[in-house]
Chain A
Amino acid sequence: MSTTKNEVLLQADKLTRRFGGLVANQDISVTLERQMIHVLLGPNGAGKSTCINMLSGDLPPSEGRIHYLGKDITALTAAQRSQVGIGRSYQRTNIFPQFTVLENVRLAAQSRRQQPWSLFTKAMEQKWALEKARACIDEAGLGKRVDWVSGVLSHGEQRQLEIAMVLATDAQVLLLDEPLAGMGSEESASMVEVLKRLRQTRGILLVEHDMDAVFAVADMITVMVNGQLLECGPPAQIKASVAVQQAYLGTEDSFHV
Protein backbone atom coordinates (compact mmCIF):
# COMPACT_ATOMS: atom_id res chain seq x y z
CA MET A 1 0.00 0.00 0.00
CA SER A 2 1.53 3.27 -1.07
CA THR A 3 1.36 6.06 1.45
CA THR A 4 2.91 8.90 -0.49
CA LYS A 5 2.53 12.13 1.37
CA ASN A 6 0.30 14.74 -0.28
CA GLU A 7 -0.98 12.21 -2.76
CA VAL A 8 -4.40 13.43 -3.88
CA LEU A 9 -6.90 10.79 -2.79
CA LEU A 10 -10.23 12.38 -3.43
CA GLN A 11 -11.09 15.27 -5.69
CA ALA A 12 -14.57 16.70 -6.08
CA ASP A 13 -15.11 19.24 -8.84
CA LYS A 14 -18.01 21.66 -8.80
CA LEU A 15 -20.52 19.38 -7.13
CA THR A 16 -24.04 20.70 -7.30
CA ARG A 17 -27.07 19.07 -5.78
CA ARG A 18 -30.59 20.32 -6.23
CA PHE A 19 -33.68 19.08 -4.38
CA GLY A 20 -36.45 20.40 -6.60
CA GLY A 21 -35.98 24.17 -6.53
CA LEU A 22 -33.66 24.12 -3.54
CA VAL A 23 -29.94 24.20 -4.28
CA ALA A 24 -28.41 22.33 -1.34
CA ASN A 25 -24.87 22.43 -2.75
CA GLN A 26 -23.62 24.70 -5.50
CA ASP A 27 -20.27 24.28 -7.21
CA ILE A 28 -18.53 22.75 -4.22
CA SER A 29 -14.97 21.63 -4.92
CA VAL A 30 -13.00 19.75 -2.30
CA THR A 31 -9.59 18.11 -2.45
CA LEU A 32 -8.44 15.53 0.07
CA GLU A 33 -4.81 14.50 0.33
CA ARG A 34 -3.27 11.60 2.16
CA GLN A 35 -2.08 12.31 5.70
CA MET A 36 -4.45 15.20 5.89
CA ILE A 37 -7.55 16.00 7.90
CA HIS A 38 -9.83 18.20 5.89
CA VAL A 39 -12.74 19.67 7.84
CA LEU A 40 -16.04 20.75 6.34
CA LEU A 41 -17.30 23.56 8.51
CA GLY A 42 -20.52 25.52 8.42
CA PRO A 43 -23.68 26.38 10.30
CA ASN A 44 -26.69 24.07 10.32
CA GLY A 45 -28.23 23.84 6.88
CA ALA A 46 -25.02 24.86 5.13
CA GLY A 47 -25.11 21.65 3.08
CA LYS A 48 -22.26 19.73 4.74
CA SER A 49 -24.18 16.48 4.99
CA THR A 50 -25.36 16.76 1.40
CA CYS A 51 -21.75 17.18 0.37
CA ILE A 52 -20.50 14.16 2.32
CA ASN A 53 -23.43 12.11 1.00
CA MET A 54 -22.37 12.91 -2.56
CA LEU A 55 -18.79 11.93 -1.80
CA SER A 56 -19.83 8.61 -0.23
CA GLY A 57 -22.29 7.74 -3.00
CA ASP A 58 -25.38 7.88 -0.81
CA LEU A 59 -26.67 10.75 -2.97
CA PRO A 60 -25.94 11.27 -6.67
CA PRO A 61 -24.82 14.80 -7.55
CA SER A 62 -26.91 16.82 -9.99
CA GLU A 63 -23.73 18.14 -11.55
CA GLY A 64 -20.01 17.81 -11.08
CA ARG A 65 -17.49 14.96 -11.00
CA ILE A 66 -15.72 13.05 -8.26
CA HIS A 67 -12.32 11.43 -8.74
CA TYR A 68 -10.64 8.92 -6.47
CA LEU A 69 -6.91 8.41 -7.12
CA GLY A 70 -7.44 9.95 -10.54
CA LYS A 71 -10.33 7.66 -11.49
CA ASP A 72 -13.80 9.06 -12.12
CA ILE A 73 -16.10 7.45 -9.54
CA THR A 74 -19.11 9.74 -9.96
CA ALA A 75 -21.29 6.90 -11.25
CA LEU A 76 -20.35 4.36 -8.55
CA THR A 77 -22.86 3.38 -5.85
CA ALA A 78 -22.07 3.60 -2.14
CA ALA A 79 -21.22 -0.12 -2.04
CA GLN A 80 -18.86 0.20 -5.03
CA ARG A 81 -17.14 3.23 -3.53
CA SER A 82 -16.61 1.29 -0.33
CA GLN A 83 -14.96 -1.43 -2.40
CA VAL A 84 -12.49 1.02 -4.00
CA GLY A 85 -11.45 2.48 -0.64
CA ILE A 86 -13.85 5.18 0.51
CA GLY A 87 -15.43 4.50 3.88
CA ARG A 88 -17.84 6.63 5.83
CA SER A 89 -19.45 6.99 9.20
CA TYR A 90 -22.79 8.62 9.78
CA GLN A 91 -24.03 11.60 11.74
CA ARG A 92 -26.61 9.48 13.48
CA THR A 93 -24.97 6.36 14.80
CA ASN A 94 -25.39 3.65 12.23
CA ILE A 95 -24.36 0.25 13.54
CA PHE A 96 -25.86 -3.21 14.04
CA PRO A 97 -27.11 -2.69 17.59
CA GLN A 98 -28.02 -6.34 18.29
CA PHE A 99 -24.55 -7.60 17.33
CA THR A 100 -21.44 -7.59 19.46
CA VAL A 101 -18.71 -5.07 18.78
CA LEU A 102 -16.64 -7.88 17.30
CA GLU A 103 -19.41 -9.00 14.95
CA ASN A 104 -20.04 -5.44 13.76
CA VAL A 105 -16.43 -5.04 12.76
CA ARG A 106 -16.04 -8.62 11.55
CA LEU A 107 -18.90 -8.04 9.08
CA ALA A 108 -17.09 -4.95 7.87
CA ALA A 109 -13.86 -6.94 7.43
CA GLN A 110 -15.70 -9.77 5.67
CA SER A 111 -16.90 -7.31 3.03
CA ARG A 112 -13.37 -7.22 1.60
CA ARG A 113 -13.34 -10.90 0.71
CA GLN A 114 -16.90 -11.89 0.05
CA GLN A 115 -17.52 -15.57 -0.62
CA PRO A 116 -21.29 -15.83 -0.73
CA TRP A 117 -21.14 -19.30 -2.30
CA SER A 118 -19.22 -20.91 0.56
CA LEU A 119 -22.34 -21.82 2.49
CA PHE A 120 -20.61 -24.38 4.66
CA THR A 121 -17.77 -22.25 5.96
CA LYS A 122 -18.37 -20.96 9.44
CA ALA A 123 -18.00 -17.19 9.50
CA MET A 124 -16.52 -17.34 12.99
CA GLU A 125 -13.79 -19.66 11.74
CA GLN A 126 -12.51 -17.18 9.16
CA LYS A 127 -9.42 -16.20 11.11
CA TRP A 128 -8.31 -13.42 8.79
CA ALA A 129 -11.56 -11.52 9.30
CA LEU A 130 -11.51 -11.99 13.07
CA GLU A 131 -7.90 -10.87 13.36
CA LYS A 132 -8.52 -7.85 11.19
CA ALA A 133 -11.60 -6.97 13.21
CA ARG A 134 -9.71 -7.17 16.51
CA ALA A 135 -6.88 -5.06 15.14
CA CYS A 136 -9.29 -2.37 13.93
CA ILE A 137 -11.18 -2.39 17.23
CA ASP A 138 -7.88 -1.77 19.02
CA GLU A 139 -6.94 0.94 16.56
CA ALA A 140 -10.21 2.75 17.25
CA GLY A 141 -9.52 2.49 20.98
CA LEU A 142 -12.34 0.08 21.76
CA GLY A 143 -10.29 -2.94 22.83
CA LYS A 144 -12.03 -3.27 26.20
CA ARG A 145 -15.45 -3.69 24.61
CA VAL A 146 -14.83 -6.44 22.03
CA ASP A 147 -17.52 -8.81 23.30
CA TRP A 148 -20.11 -6.25 24.33
CA VAL A 149 -23.41 -6.00 22.52
CA SER A 150 -22.91 -2.77 20.61
CA GLY A 151 -26.36 -1.36 21.38
CA VAL A 152 -25.46 -0.89 25.06
CA LEU A 153 -22.23 1.02 24.44
CA SER A 154 -22.05 4.69 25.35
CA HIS A 155 -22.65 7.16 22.58
CA GLY A 156 -18.95 7.96 22.27
CA GLU A 157 -18.03 4.29 22.12
CA GLN A 158 -20.56 3.72 19.35
CA ARG A 159 -18.87 6.46 17.36
CA GLN A 160 -15.55 4.71 17.91
CA LEU A 161 -17.16 1.49 16.77
CA GLU A 162 -18.23 3.18 13.55
CA ILE A 163 -14.66 4.18 12.93
CA ALA A 164 -13.45 0.64 13.60
CA MET A 165 -15.95 -0.60 11.01
CA VAL A 166 -14.71 1.86 8.41
CA LEU A 167 -11.11 0.86 9.15
CA ALA A 168 -11.95 -2.81 8.68
CA THR A 169 -12.94 -2.05 5.09
CA ASP A 170 -9.34 -0.93 4.34
CA ALA A 171 -10.64 2.55 3.56
CA GLN A 172 -8.00 5.02 2.44
CA VAL A 173 -10.46 7.87 2.59
CA LEU A 174 -12.49 8.25 5.76
CA LEU A 175 -15.59 10.39 5.44
CA LEU A 176 -16.67 11.06 9.00
CA ASP A 177 -19.91 12.90 9.64
CA GLU A 178 -19.68 14.59 13.04
CA PRO A 179 -17.69 11.89 14.84
CA LEU A 180 -17.54 14.07 17.97
CA ALA A 181 -21.22 14.99 18.12
CA GLY A 182 -22.75 14.39 21.53
CA MET A 183 -19.45 13.39 23.13
CA GLY A 184 -18.24 14.49 26.55
CA SER A 185 -14.96 16.41 26.69
CA GLU A 186 -12.99 13.33 27.75
CA GLU A 187 -14.43 11.14 24.99
CA SER A 188 -13.92 13.96 22.56
CA ALA A 189 -10.26 14.31 23.46
CA SER A 190 -9.60 10.60 23.05
CA MET A 191 -11.38 10.62 19.68
CA VAL A 192 -9.15 13.48 18.55
CA GLU A 193 -6.16 11.30 19.41
CA VAL A 194 -7.65 8.45 17.36
CA LEU A 195 -8.16 10.78 14.41
CA LYS A 196 -4.58 12.01 14.59
CA ARG A 197 -3.33 8.45 14.62
CA LEU A 198 -5.46 7.49 11.63
CA ARG A 199 -4.21 10.48 9.67
CA GLN A 200 -0.73 8.97 9.52
CA THR A 201 -1.64 6.64 6.67
CA ARG A 202 -4.98 7.84 5.35
CA GLY A 203 -6.95 10.89 4.33
CA ILE A 204 -9.82 12.06 6.51
CA LEU A 205 -12.67 14.34 5.56
CA LEU A 206 -14.56 15.48 8.60
CA VAL A 207 -17.82 17.28 9.15
CA GLU A 208 -17.66 18.86 12.56
CA HIS A 209 -19.21 21.50 14.81
CA ASP A 210 -16.85 21.30 17.77
CA MET A 211 -14.60 24.30 17.17
CA ASP A 212 -11.88 23.35 19.64
CA ALA A 213 -11.58 19.93 18.05
CA VAL A 214 -11.68 21.35 14.54
CA PHE A 215 -8.73 23.61 15.13
CA ALA A 216 -6.91 20.90 17.06
CA VAL A 217 -6.89 18.47 14.17
CA ALA A 218 -7.58 20.29 10.91
CA ASP A 219 -4.91 20.63 8.24
CA MET A 220 -7.33 22.23 5.85
CA ILE A 221 -10.77 23.76 6.41
CA THR A 222 -13.54 24.35 3.91
CA VAL A 223 -16.26 26.69 5.14
CA MET A 224 -19.72 26.34 3.65
CA VAL A 225 -22.67 28.68 4.04
CA ASN A 226 -26.09 28.22 2.44
CA GLY A 227 -24.84 25.53 0.10
CA GLN A 228 -22.00 27.71 -1.18
CA LEU A 229 -18.29 27.41 -0.64
CA LEU A 230 -17.24 30.45 1.37
CA GLU A 231 -13.58 29.90 1.98
CA CYS A 232 -11.03 27.11 1.87
CA GLY A 233 -7.59 27.15 3.44
CA PRO A 234 -5.41 26.18 6.38
CA PRO A 235 -6.78 26.89 9.90
CA ALA A 236 -4.80 30.10 10.34
CA GLN A 237 -6.29 31.57 7.18
CA ILE A 238 -9.82 30.58 8.23
CA LYS A 239 -9.36 32.08 11.69
CA ALA A 240 -8.25 35.36 10.14
CA SER A 241 -10.90 35.46 7.46
CA VAL A 242 -13.29 38.38 7.70
CA ALA A 243 -15.81 36.70 5.44
CA VAL A 244 -15.96 33.66 7.73
CA GLN A 245 -16.39 35.77 10.83
CA GLN A 246 -19.17 37.73 9.22
CA ALA A 247 -20.95 34.62 8.09
CA TYR A 248 -20.86 33.22 11.58
CA LEU A 249 -21.55 36.33 13.65
CA GLY A 250 -24.90 36.06 15.31
CA THR A 251 -25.72 32.74 13.70
CA GLU A 252 -23.57 30.32 15.66
CA ASP A 253 -22.88 31.10 19.29
CA SER A 254 -20.36 28.32 19.67
CA PHE A 255 -17.97 29.92 17.22
CA HIS A 256 -15.30 31.30 19.55
CA VAL A 257 -12.09 31.94 17.68
Chain B
Amino acid sequence: MNANASLIPKLVALAIVACVPLSGESFYIEIVGKVLVMAIFAMSLDLLVGFTGLVSFGHAAYFGIAAYAVAILSPEYEAASLWYVLPASVGLSALAAFVIGLFVLRTKGIYFIMVTLAFAQMAYFIFHDTPLGGGSDGKYLNNKPSASIFGWEPFDLTNEVHMFYFVLAVLVLVYLFLARVLQSPFGRVLVGIKSNEHRMQSLGYLTFRYKLGAFTLAGALGGLAGFLYAVLFGFVTPELLSWHESGNVLLMVILGGMGNLAGAIAGAFAFEAMREIFADITKYWQLLMGGVIVAVVLFLPGGLAGVPGRIKRALQGGEAK
Protein backbone atom coordinates (compact mmCIF):
# COMPACT_ATOMS: atom_id res chain seq x y z
CA MET B 1 0.00 0.00 0.00
CA ASN B 2 2.64 2.40 1.13
CA ALA B 3 5.02 1.15 -1.57
CA ASN B 4 2.48 1.96 -4.25
CA ALA B 5 1.81 5.40 -2.84
CA SER B 6 5.50 6.30 -2.99
CA LEU B 7 5.88 4.73 -6.44
CA ILE B 8 4.22 7.63 -8.26
CA PRO B 9 6.65 10.37 -7.18
CA LYS B 10 9.52 8.02 -8.03
CA LEU B 11 8.17 7.39 -11.53
CA VAL B 12 7.59 11.13 -12.05
CA ALA B 13 11.18 11.84 -10.99
CA LEU B 14 12.39 9.12 -13.35
CA ALA B 15 10.37 10.58 -16.22
CA ILE B 16 11.77 14.07 -15.59
CA VAL B 17 15.34 12.77 -15.56
CA ALA B 18 14.65 10.74 -18.70
CA CYS B 19 13.66 13.98 -20.48
CA VAL B 20 17.03 15.66 -19.86
CA PRO B 21 18.55 14.57 -23.20
CA LEU B 22 15.63 16.23 -25.01
CA SER B 23 17.21 19.56 -24.06
CA GLY B 24 19.99 18.75 -26.54
CA GLU B 25 22.45 20.57 -24.27
CA SER B 26 25.62 18.51 -23.84
CA PHE B 27 26.39 20.33 -20.62
CA TYR B 28 23.20 19.18 -18.94
CA ILE B 29 23.35 15.68 -20.34
CA GLU B 30 26.85 15.21 -19.01
CA ILE B 31 26.28 16.75 -15.61
CA VAL B 32 23.05 14.86 -14.94
CA GLY B 33 24.75 11.71 -16.21
CA LYS B 34 27.46 12.27 -13.64
CA VAL B 35 24.89 12.73 -10.89
CA LEU B 36 23.25 9.44 -11.90
CA VAL B 37 26.62 7.73 -11.59
CA MET B 38 27.10 9.23 -8.15
CA ALA B 39 23.59 8.10 -7.21
CA ILE B 40 24.51 4.48 -8.04
CA PHE B 41 27.66 4.95 -5.98
CA ALA B 42 25.65 6.35 -3.05
CA MET B 43 23.15 3.46 -3.18
CA SER B 44 26.04 0.97 -3.04
CA LEU B 45 27.40 2.68 0.08
CA ASP B 46 23.96 2.89 1.64
CA LEU B 47 23.82 -0.91 1.57
CA LEU B 48 26.69 -0.82 4.07
CA VAL B 49 26.03 2.34 6.05
CA GLY B 50 22.26 2.51 6.07
CA PHE B 51 21.27 -1.14 6.01
CA THR B 52 24.11 -3.11 7.60
CA GLY B 53 25.41 -0.42 9.96
CA LEU B 54 28.95 -0.53 8.56
CA VAL B 55 30.27 3.02 8.17
CA SER B 56 32.87 2.58 5.44
CA PHE B 57 35.07 5.61 4.96
CA GLY B 58 36.95 4.08 2.05
CA HIS B 59 34.25 3.33 -0.48
CA ALA B 60 35.94 5.43 -3.18
CA ALA B 61 38.55 2.68 -3.48
CA TYR B 62 36.12 0.32 -5.22
CA PHE B 63 34.81 3.13 -7.42
CA GLY B 64 38.38 3.96 -8.43
CA ILE B 65 39.59 0.41 -8.92
CA ALA B 66 36.91 -0.34 -11.51
CA ALA B 67 37.41 3.07 -13.15
CA TYR B 68 41.14 2.39 -13.53
CA ALA B 69 40.43 -1.16 -14.62
CA VAL B 70 38.50 0.04 -17.70
CA ALA B 71 41.27 2.44 -18.63
CA ILE B 72 43.98 -0.17 -18.14
CA LEU B 73 42.14 -3.09 -19.76
CA SER B 74 41.09 -1.13 -22.84
CA PRO B 75 43.54 -1.27 -25.75
CA GLU B 76 45.06 2.09 -26.67
CA TYR B 77 43.92 2.37 -30.28
CA GLU B 78 40.66 0.49 -30.43
CA ALA B 79 37.52 0.04 -28.39
CA ALA B 80 37.30 -2.83 -25.93
CA SER B 81 34.14 -4.88 -25.78
CA LEU B 82 31.73 -3.62 -23.15
CA TRP B 83 30.78 -7.22 -22.41
CA TYR B 84 34.33 -7.93 -21.40
CA VAL B 85 35.50 -4.75 -19.63
CA LEU B 86 32.27 -4.23 -17.67
CA PRO B 87 32.26 -7.59 -15.84
CA ALA B 88 36.06 -7.54 -15.56
CA SER B 89 36.23 -4.14 -13.86
CA VAL B 90 33.24 -4.77 -11.62
CA GLY B 91 34.73 -8.18 -10.78
CA LEU B 92 38.05 -6.59 -9.81
CA SER B 93 36.30 -4.17 -7.48
CA ALA B 94 34.33 -7.04 -5.97
CA LEU B 95 37.52 -9.04 -5.50
CA ALA B 96 39.26 -6.09 -3.84
CA ALA B 97 36.26 -5.57 -1.55
CA PHE B 98 36.20 -9.26 -0.66
CA VAL B 99 39.90 -9.35 0.24
CA ILE B 100 39.85 -6.01 2.09
CA GLY B 101 36.61 -7.06 3.79
CA LEU B 102 38.34 -10.14 5.22
CA PHE B 103 40.52 -7.75 7.20
CA VAL B 104 38.41 -4.71 7.95
CA LEU B 105 35.32 -6.63 9.07
CA ARG B 106 37.27 -7.95 12.03
CA THR B 107 37.11 -4.45 13.47
CA LYS B 108 34.15 -2.47 14.73
CA GLY B 109 33.03 1.11 15.22
CA ILE B 110 35.68 3.80 14.95
CA TYR B 111 38.34 1.21 14.09
CA PHE B 112 36.29 0.02 11.14
CA ILE B 113 36.05 3.59 9.87
CA MET B 114 39.80 4.10 10.17
CA VAL B 115 40.80 0.75 8.67
CA THR B 116 38.52 1.16 5.65
CA LEU B 117 40.10 4.59 5.18
CA ALA B 118 43.59 3.11 5.48
CA PHE B 119 42.94 0.50 2.80
CA ALA B 120 41.47 3.13 0.49
CA GLN B 121 44.56 5.28 0.98
CA MET B 122 46.72 2.29 0.07
CA ALA B 123 44.71 1.84 -3.12
CA TYR B 124 45.05 5.57 -3.80
CA PHE B 125 48.84 5.42 -3.58
CA ILE B 126 49.02 2.31 -5.75
CA PHE B 127 47.42 4.24 -8.60
CA HIS B 128 49.15 7.51 -7.72
CA ASP B 129 52.71 6.27 -7.31
CA THR B 130 53.20 3.12 -9.34
CA PRO B 131 53.56 2.77 -13.12
CA LEU B 132 50.22 0.96 -13.14
CA GLY B 133 48.18 4.14 -12.76
CA GLY B 134 50.11 6.77 -14.70
CA GLY B 135 50.81 9.06 -11.75
CA SER B 136 48.85 12.07 -10.57
CA ASP B 137 47.76 12.95 -14.13
CA GLY B 138 45.82 9.74 -14.31
CA LYS B 139 45.03 7.87 -17.47
CA TYR B 140 42.94 8.42 -20.56
CA LEU B 141 40.36 6.03 -21.87
CA ASN B 142 40.82 6.85 -25.53
CA ASN B 143 38.06 4.65 -26.85
CA LYS B 144 34.81 4.04 -25.07
CA PRO B 145 33.88 0.37 -24.89
CA SER B 146 31.84 -0.97 -27.76
CA ALA B 147 28.53 -2.65 -27.05
CA SER B 148 28.67 -4.66 -30.26
CA ILE B 149 27.63 -8.31 -30.09
CA PHE B 150 28.89 -10.25 -33.14
CA GLY B 151 28.66 -7.13 -35.28
CA TRP B 152 25.24 -6.03 -34.00
CA GLU B 153 25.39 -2.81 -32.01
CA PRO B 154 22.38 -2.32 -29.71
CA PHE B 155 23.66 1.08 -28.55
CA ASP B 156 26.69 3.32 -28.92
CA LEU B 157 28.38 4.64 -25.79
CA THR B 158 30.27 7.30 -27.75
CA ASN B 159 26.89 8.89 -28.38
CA GLU B 160 26.17 11.09 -25.37
CA VAL B 161 22.44 10.40 -25.42
CA HIS B 162 22.94 6.65 -25.63
CA MET B 163 25.47 6.89 -22.79
CA PHE B 164 23.00 8.87 -20.69
CA TYR B 165 20.25 6.31 -21.09
CA PHE B 166 22.69 3.50 -20.46
CA VAL B 167 23.62 5.06 -17.10
CA LEU B 168 19.97 5.69 -16.29
CA ALA B 169 19.07 2.08 -17.10
CA VAL B 170 21.88 0.82 -14.86
CA LEU B 171 20.64 3.08 -12.05
CA VAL B 172 17.11 1.70 -12.31
CA LEU B 173 18.41 -1.88 -12.39
CA VAL B 174 20.66 -1.32 -9.37
CA TYR B 175 17.76 0.24 -7.48
CA LEU B 176 15.41 -2.65 -8.28
CA PHE B 177 18.13 -5.18 -7.51
CA LEU B 178 18.96 -3.70 -4.11
CA ALA B 179 15.30 -3.22 -3.20
CA ARG B 180 14.76 -6.89 -3.92
CA VAL B 181 17.88 -8.03 -2.09
CA LEU B 182 16.82 -6.08 0.99
CA GLN B 183 13.58 -8.06 1.09
CA SER B 184 15.40 -11.37 0.82
CA PRO B 185 16.42 -13.45 3.84
CA PHE B 186 19.97 -12.16 3.27
CA GLY B 187 18.80 -8.54 3.37
CA ARG B 188 16.77 -9.10 6.51
CA VAL B 189 19.86 -10.49 8.22
CA LEU B 190 21.83 -7.37 7.26
CA VAL B 191 19.18 -5.14 8.80
CA GLY B 192 19.21 -7.38 11.88
CA ILE B 193 22.98 -6.96 12.12
CA LYS B 194 22.56 -3.21 11.99
CA SER B 195 19.97 -3.32 14.74
CA ASN B 196 21.73 -5.76 17.08
CA GLU B 197 24.65 -7.79 15.80
CA HIS B 198 25.28 -9.54 19.10
CA ARG B 199 21.70 -10.84 19.15
CA MET B 200 22.08 -12.11 15.58
CA GLN B 201 25.09 -14.14 16.67
CA SER B 202 23.28 -15.62 19.63
CA LEU B 203 20.47 -16.58 17.23
CA GLY B 204 23.02 -18.64 15.34
CA TYR B 205 24.02 -16.33 12.50
CA LEU B 206 27.68 -16.23 11.52
CA THR B 207 27.43 -12.48 11.02
CA PHE B 208 30.94 -12.11 9.64
CA ARG B 209 29.96 -14.00 6.49
CA TYR B 210 26.89 -11.88 5.93
CA LYS B 211 28.87 -8.69 6.44
CA LEU B 212 31.52 -9.94 4.03
CA GLY B 213 28.79 -10.66 1.48
CA ALA B 214 27.39 -7.16 1.91
CA PHE B 215 30.84 -5.57 1.72
CA THR B 216 31.66 -7.45 -1.48
CA LEU B 217 28.32 -6.62 -3.07
CA ALA B 218 28.69 -2.94 -2.13
CA GLY B 219 32.21 -2.97 -3.57
CA ALA B 220 30.96 -4.49 -6.82
CA LEU B 221 28.16 -1.93 -7.20
CA GLY B 222 30.53 0.90 -6.24
CA GLY B 223 32.79 -0.48 -8.98
CA LEU B 224 29.89 -0.42 -11.41
CA ALA B 225 29.51 3.29 -10.68
CA GLY B 226 33.27 3.81 -11.14
CA PHE B 227 33.15 1.97 -14.45
CA LEU B 228 30.37 4.24 -15.70
CA TYR B 229 32.26 7.31 -14.51
CA ALA B 230 35.36 6.35 -16.46
CA VAL B 231 33.37 5.64 -19.61
CA LEU B 232 31.36 8.86 -19.24
CA PHE B 233 34.39 11.16 -18.88
CA GLY B 234 37.02 9.17 -20.75
CA PHE B 235 39.73 9.65 -18.16
CA VAL B 236 40.55 8.62 -14.61
CA THR B 237 42.74 10.22 -11.95
CA PRO B 238 43.91 9.00 -8.56
CA GLU B 239 41.62 11.61 -7.00
CA LEU B 240 38.71 9.26 -7.70
CA LEU B 241 40.06 7.07 -4.90
CA SER B 242 40.90 9.89 -2.51
CA TRP B 243 39.34 10.17 0.91
CA HIS B 244 37.52 13.31 -0.27
CA GLU B 245 35.49 11.14 -2.58
CA SER B 246 34.83 8.60 0.16
CA GLY B 247 33.66 11.50 2.31
CA ASN B 248 31.50 13.02 -0.42
CA VAL B 249 29.60 9.83 -1.07
CA LEU B 250 29.11 9.36 2.67
CA LEU B 251 27.67 12.88 2.81
CA MET B 252 25.30 12.05 -0.05
CA VAL B 253 24.01 9.08 1.93
CA ILE B 254 23.60 11.14 5.10
CA LEU B 255 21.99 14.01 3.21
CA GLY B 256 19.52 11.68 1.53
CA GLY B 257 18.74 9.73 4.69
CA MET B 258 20.56 6.55 5.63
CA GLY B 259 18.80 3.28 4.99
CA ASN B 260 16.68 4.50 2.10
CA LEU B 261 17.67 3.75 -1.50
CA ALA B 262 15.61 6.56 -3.01
CA GLY B 263 17.11 8.80 -0.34
CA ALA B 264 20.61 7.92 -1.52
CA ILE B 265 19.65 8.98 -5.05
CA ALA B 266 18.09 12.20 -3.77
CA GLY B 267 21.19 12.81 -1.66
CA ALA B 268 23.42 12.51 -4.73
CA PHE B 269 21.26 14.99 -6.64
CA ALA B 270 21.14 17.43 -3.72
CA PHE B 271 24.87 17.21 -3.12
CA GLU B 272 25.85 17.80 -6.74
CA ALA B 273 23.26 20.56 -7.16
CA MET B 274 24.54 22.36 -4.08
CA ARG B 275 28.08 21.98 -5.30
CA GLU B 276 27.14 23.66 -8.61
CA ILE B 277 25.04 26.41 -7.04
CA PHE B 278 27.42 27.27 -4.21
CA ALA B 279 30.43 27.17 -6.52
CA ASP B 280 28.69 29.81 -8.67
CA ILE B 281 28.17 32.03 -5.63
CA THR B 282 31.57 31.81 -4.01
CA LYS B 283 34.86 30.00 -4.25
CA TYR B 284 34.40 29.12 -0.59
CA TRP B 285 31.49 26.88 -1.56
CA GLN B 286 32.60 24.16 0.82
CA LEU B 287 31.81 26.44 3.75
CA LEU B 288 28.19 26.76 2.58
CA MET B 289 28.01 23.05 1.87
CA GLY B 290 29.32 22.26 5.33
CA GLY B 291 26.68 24.50 6.85
CA VAL B 292 23.91 22.73 4.97
CA ILE B 293 25.18 19.31 6.04
CA VAL B 294 25.26 20.42 9.68
CA ALA B 295 21.74 21.80 9.35
CA VAL B 296 20.44 18.56 7.80
CA VAL B 297 22.01 16.43 10.52
CA LEU B 298 20.59 18.67 13.25
CA PHE B 299 17.12 19.38 11.88
CA LEU B 300 16.39 16.53 9.48
CA PRO B 301 17.69 13.37 11.14
CA GLY B 302 16.00 11.20 8.50
CA GLY B 303 17.61 13.23 5.69
CA LEU B 304 15.72 14.15 2.54
CA ALA B 305 14.01 10.75 2.55
CA GLY B 306 12.32 11.72 5.80
CA VAL B 307 10.82 14.93 4.38
CA PRO B 308 7.63 13.45 2.81
CA GLY B 309 6.79 11.74 6.11
CA ARG B 310 7.32 14.98 8.01
CA ILE B 311 5.08 16.94 5.65
CA LYS B 312 2.41 14.25 5.92
CA ARG B 313 2.54 14.27 9.70
CA ALA B 314 2.47 18.07 9.78
CA LEU B 315 -0.63 18.05 7.54
CA GLN B 316 -2.37 15.39 9.60
CA GLY B 317 -1.51 17.32 12.76
CA GLY B 318 -3.06 20.40 11.15
CA GLU B 319 -6.27 18.53 10.33
CA ALA B 320 -6.55 17.22 13.86
CA LYS B 321 -6.65 20.79 15.12
Contacts and interface: CB of A to CB of B under 8 A. Distances in A.
Interface of A: 56, 58, 77-80, 82-83, 87-88, 90, 94-99, 103, 106-108, 110-112, 114-124, 126, 165, 169
A122 B188 CA distance: 10
A121 B200 CA distance: 20
A78 B202 contact: yes
Nearest to B178: A119
The bracket for how many chain B residues form the interface is: 20 to 34
B151 to A, nearest CB: 33
B158 interface: no
A56 B187 CA distance: 26
B205 interface: yes
B180 A119 contact: yes
Interface stretch (B2-10, B66-74, B190-198, B288-296): B190-198
A207 to B, nearest CB: 15
A82 B199 CA distance: 11
B278 interface: no
Contacts of A97: 195
B204 A94 contact: no
22 contacts: A78-B202, A82-B204, A88-B202, A90-B202, A96-B192, A98-B195, A99-B192, A103-B188, A108-B203, A110-B188, A111-B204, A111-B205, A112-B204, A115-B186, A116-B189, A118-B184, A118-B186, A120-B180, A121-B184, A124-B183, A165-B203, A169-B203
B202 A56 contact: yes
Interface of B: 180-181, 183-189, 192, 195-196, 198-207, 209-210, 213
A100 B207 CA distance: 21
A94 B213 CA distance: 25
Contact of B184 (A87, A103, A122): A122
Nearest to B177: A119
A96 B199 contact: yes
A115 B188 CA distance: 12
B204 A123 contact: no
A123 B205 contact: no
A2 to B, nearest CB: 21
Contacts of A88: 202
A122 B183 contact: yes
Contacts of B185: 110, 114-116, 118, 121, 123, 126
B203 A111 contact: yes
Nearest to B210: A116
Contacts of B180: 119-120, 122
B182 to A, nearest CB: 9
A96 B213 CA distance: 22
B70 to A, nearest CB: 26
Which 3 pairs, one residue from A and one from B, show the smallest C-beta to C-beta distance?
A: A82-B204, A111-B204, A96-B195
A227 B228 CA distance: 62
Given A97-B195, A110-B188, A77 B201 contact: yes
A123 B184 contact: yes
Nearest to A77: B201
